[in-house]
């Protein structure tokens, strides 16, 4: 099983701050996906990155795929309370997605 390590595990910030969360692995992935999950609900896809070095922006969220396709980062600018949730990265293992343990983000007003 290809392991994905996410850091930090927990993050509590105030509204307006910037933050970056990381997803690292020793394995190379053909694609990597980021999901956000709210309590009691299933994860929802935010973005898929495929090409090494790729950068994708989704409003205030910026996703980057490492050049070697082993790691990824998610940067949030000017965080808002609505950004609160569990952020999960997942790598294509060839037959399913392997998920990291997630970063639990709390944004307080």
Residue 25, interface with other proteins (CB under 8 A)?
Answer: no
Query: Please, which residue, 39 or 109, has the CB nearer to other proteins?
Result: 39
Of 48, 44, 36, 32, nearest in space to 90 by CA: 32
User: What's the count of helices (H) and strands (E) in the chain, helices before strands?
Assistant: 0, 11
- Considering CB under 8 A, how many residues would be counted as binding other proteins? 27
Q: How far is CA 66 from the centre of its chain?
A: 13
Task: Name which position in 87, 100, 105, 107 contacts other proteins (CB under 8 A).
Answer: 100
Q: Stretches 14-22, 40-48, 51-59, 61-69: which one binds other proteins (CB under 8 A)?
A: 40-48
For residues 42 and 107, what is the distance between their CA atoms, to the nearest angstrom?
Answer: 20
For residues 93 and 19, what is the distance between their CA atoms, to the nearest angstrom?
Answer: 28
Peptide bond into 8 cis (omega under 30): yes
Least distance (Å) from other proteins to the CB of residue 100? Answer: 6
Residue 104, interface with other proteins (CB under 8 A)?
Answer: yes
- Using CB under 8 A as the binding rule, the residues of this chain from 46 to 85 that contact other proteins are 48, 50
Q: Which residues bind other proteins (CB under 8 A)?
A: 30-31, 33, 39-45, 48, 50, 86, 88, 90, 92-102, 104
């Amino acid at each position: 099983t290809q392991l994905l390590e996410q850091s930090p595990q927990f993050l509590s910030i105030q509204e307006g701050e910037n933050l970056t969360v990381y997803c690292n692995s020793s394995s190379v992935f053909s694609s990597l996906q980021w999901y956000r999950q709210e309590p009691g609900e299933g994860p929802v896809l935010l973005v898929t990155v495929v090409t090494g070095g790729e950068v994708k922006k989704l409003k205030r969220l910026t996703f980057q795929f490492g050049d070697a396709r082993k790691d990824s980062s998610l940067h949030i600018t000017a965080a808002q309370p609505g950004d609160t949730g569990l952020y999960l990265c997942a790598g294509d293992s060839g037959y399913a997605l392997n998920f990291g343990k997630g970063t639990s983000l709390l944004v307080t007003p």
